[in-house]
Structure formats: structure tokens, C-alpha cells
A and B are shown apart, each in its own frame.
Chain A
Amino acid sequence: MKNIKISSKNVNVHYGAKQALHSVSLNINENEVTSLIGPSGCGKSTFLRCINRMNDLIDICKVDGSITVDNEEIISDEVDVVSLRSKIGMVFQKPNPFPKSIFDNVAYGPTIHGIAESKTDLEEIVHSSLKRAGLLKEVKDRLHEPGTSLSGGQQQRLCIARAIAVNPDIILMDEPCSALDPIATAIIEELIDELKANYTIVIVTHSMQQAARVSQRTGFFHLGELIETGDTQKIFTNPDNEKTQGYITGRFG
């Protein structure tokens, strides 16, 4: 039995008058990859952004219900959001390295969070993060070149290195491969597979095949509702719900 890392209960999200999520309850296991799938606008990214309180950045957005991380409530005004986000890294659809060197991109988080105690310490964190993101070999001789000089796939791995440099427990990925070619995608997928030993990963993807390949659990969202959740193997071979079946077989969307 896997440990539950993240647990949401009856989460509702409103953007002004429009309700984007309807009573979403979902458990996410520790050291597993959970995929969130569904048509555009179904609420999967909105749900992902609830986990690190990114929705706080949108004025008209209101979140209610409960989400716990390690049994601690995060939907509360008392939560220190900066500290929460240091536990939860995020990787976006388009690689978004800072306009800084490769080294500084990765060093930025540990520096502002005061994680590194010395320069050597910081170098060690940057090296180990790049290594864990599978990028060190390719960039070790050019750490002071701009992050933006890397290829798209390398930039995305740089963003993953930047996310793990602050030593999070959870990594949220919002369509991390949608801007990448098949080879760069395969490298990221291989990386996700390796990272799950140390992190809990939640990935939003539009690729059914990617969800089937990388995740152990899958949740299907439709019109703001979590329609079905279960073992990935079951969802893609024999889903219980007709809507899930219709969506993953390309019968509606």
C-alpha cells in the first residue's frame, strides 16, 4: 500500500462567476507518477495549480475545499506559500529558463531559499541537480553560457534541474513535452521514470500514450469534474466510465 502524499477533498475552483472545478477529490501516492488527462478547459491544469497555490496569483480565482500535503492542509491563509512552493517544484509547457547562465538558473532557488551554506555547497547542489535532471554531461563545460542557448529539450531539463535544486518532495509538470520533439520527449520521459524514486510527480498531458507510458495512476477530467481515477493500466485498457472510454479512444473531445 502506497503512502498518500497529496489528498484533495471536495475542491471547488471559481474564476469569478465561472466554476472551473466541481468538488474534486483525489489521492496522489508518494513516489508515483500520476497523470491528469482530459480535453482542453476540463480543469486539469487548474487542479495542478491548486497543489502549489499558483491560483493565488489570479485575483478572481477562489479555491475552496481541502488539499493536504503530508497530512497538512494547504488551502488556508495561514500557510506560508513560499515555503510550500519550495516543497513543490513546477515545470511548465514551454521551457522558461531565466535570462541567466545555466549555473545561475539552477543556483537561483537554493540561493533565495538559503539552502546553500557556502559557495562550494551551492556548486555541489547545482552539479547534483543537473546530474539528476540528466543534463550535467551535456553542459558541464559551458555552465556559464546562457540557459537560453540550449536546445528546447535541454532547456526543459534545465527547468527540471532548477525545480529539484530546492529539494522538493513533489514535482508538478504541466504538459512538459508539448513543445518538444519525440527524442527530447523520450529523454524527459526516461527522466520522469528515474525521478519517481525520489519525488512524487503529477503530470498534466494531452498525450494519452505519454500518460500510459509514464504514470502509474491516471485521473480523467471533463468539464471541471474528475470523472474517473485509477491504475493507468486499467484506465487505458478497460475504463469504467463511458466518458473516459469515449475520450481516450478519440470518440469525443
Chain B
Amino acid sequence: MEQDTHIVKSYDEEMKEINNSILDIGSLVENQLKEALGALKNQDTELADKVIQADNLIDEKFRQLDQKLVLILGKRQPMATDLRTIFSAIKMNKDLERLGDHSTNIAKRTAMIELVLPEKPVRDILRMGEHVRVMIAKVIQSFVNFSAEEAKIVWEMDEEIDDEYLGILRQLLTYMMEDPKRISACTNLLYMVKDLERAGDYVQNIAEDIYYAVSGEPLYNDGPDREWEAIKPLKKKK
């Protein structure tokens, strides 16, 4: 029994177009982060400006895919695996667009900063950023392979990103407490590290969407809020 293709050929073509659009946006988003990190590494404001401009293209592709998804829902009234794939694609599209925004935010801060940045936290942020970039590449690959197992591996990787985030957060607080003159530079870095932490969360969301599209089962993160656990001791006692 032929199960791979629809009886209506144009439905297959539309589904293929949606897959290709996700891959296209995914690769743009991965590149956006790569270049934002490059700009930070070399404090290259020209490259940072290029990244900021490139966000427009991601936004444009997001809007185009959004339209395609609405159209296919109305036209095909998808069921089962098609329904799950389209439902997940709607969410993935939005999350990829937000991922692009976070890379753009890093580039904006890089373009703004005219300060000497402390070396160690920058190095750590670049390493964390590279981990997020790898997560984006892997999550897109899991979509290409339509693999729930691969998506779950990426989903679990976010835990390391959260650990790195909390480590850098503590490091930056220490830097600021030791030398208030560093507050301005470190605040910018704080925003960047937060952008990367959020980017990791979006990749995790995308992994959940792919897992659901493939398996039909939800993948929920019902663990403790680790950031809250880490900063809770700092809360003032009444």
C-alpha cells in the first residue's frame, strides 16, 4: 500500500514547500547566530549591522510561510500526521523567527558597545552561543530526518545551556560587585547571555514540536524552574 504520497499530488508539493521553507528559515537563523557571535568576538560593528539588517529577511520569510500554512489548513483540512506536521510548523515558524530576534539583539548590543569587555565572560558567552548554534543545526536536522529520537536529544541539550547561563550570570554579578566601573559592559553582556538562554528555550520548543509531529505524543518540560531555584537564595527575607 502506498503510504508516502497523497492521491492529490499538489498536496504533496505544498507539504514539501512547507518543509523547504522551515529548512530555509532554520539555516538563516543558524547563520544569524553564527554571525552575531562572530561580531561579538571581534567587536566588529560592521558585521553586527549586517546581522541586524538580515533579520528583515527572516521576518519576511516568516510572514510568507505563515500565509502558506493558513492556506494549506483551509484548503486541505489536514488529518493525522499532516495535521500534526502543519500544527508543529506553525509553532516552529514563530519560534524560529523569535530565535532570529535573539541573535539580532546580540548584534544590536555589539554594535552599541564602545567599551572594553571583560575577556573571560565574553569567551564563555561565545562558547555558550556556539552550543546554541549546534542545537539549532541539530534540531533542523532532526526535522529533515523526521526523527523523534533526534529531536529528544536536542531537547535534552537545553539543560547544559541553562547551566552555562547560570554560571555566566554568577560570574557577571561577581565582576560587577568587584568593580562598579564594569557595570555598564557587564549589563550588556547580561542581556546577551539572557538572549542565548531564551534562544536555547526556543530550540527546545522546536524539538518538542518535531517530537509531537513525528510521534503524536507531547514532550513536556515539567522539571523545576532552574533559574528561579538559582536566584531564589538572593531574595530578601522579610
Q: Does A associate with B in a complex?
A: yes
Interface pick from A46-54, A127-135, A165-173, A245-253: A245-253
B6 partner residues in chain A, CB cutoff 8 A: 249-251
Inter-subunit contact A242/B216 (CB<8 Å) = no
Q: Is A120 an interface residue (CB 8 A)?
A: no
**Total number of residue pairs linking A and B with CB closer than 8 Å:** 52
Inter-subunit contact A250/B11 (CB<8 Å) = yes
Inter-subunit contact A238/B3 (CB<8 Å) = no
Inter-subunit contact B7/A252 (CB<8 Å) = yes
Inter-subunit contact B77/A209 (CB<8 Å) = yes
Inter-subunit contact A249/B79 (CB<8 Å) = yes
A246 partner residues in chain B, CB cutoff 8 A: 1-3
How many interface residues does chain A have, given as a range? 10 to 19
- For chain B, the count of residues having a C-beta within 8 Å of the partner chain is 20
Inter-subunit contact A251/B4 (CB<8 Å) = yes
Interface pick from B46-54, B80-88, B156-164, B181-189: B80-88
A92 partner residues in chain B, CB cutoff 8 A: none
Nearest CB in chain B to that of A222: its residue: B1
Kindly name the residue among B2, B3, B5, B8 whose own CB sees the greatest number of chain A CB atoms within 10 A.
B3
Interface residues of A in 190-211 (CB under 8 A from B): 208-209
Contact with B along A215-253 (1 / 0, CB 8 A): 000000000000000000000111100111110111111
- Least CB distance, A177 to chain B, in whole angstroms: 16
A248 with B1: in contact, given A237-B84, A238-B216, A253-B7 (CB under 8 Å)?
A: no
Mark B residues whose CB is within 8 Å of A. 1-8, 11, 76-84, 216-217
Task: Report the 9 A-B pairs with minimum CB-CB distance, sorted nearest first.
Answer: A238-B216, A248-B79, A246-B3, A250-B6, A245-B80, A249-B82, A249-B80, A249-B79, A236-B79
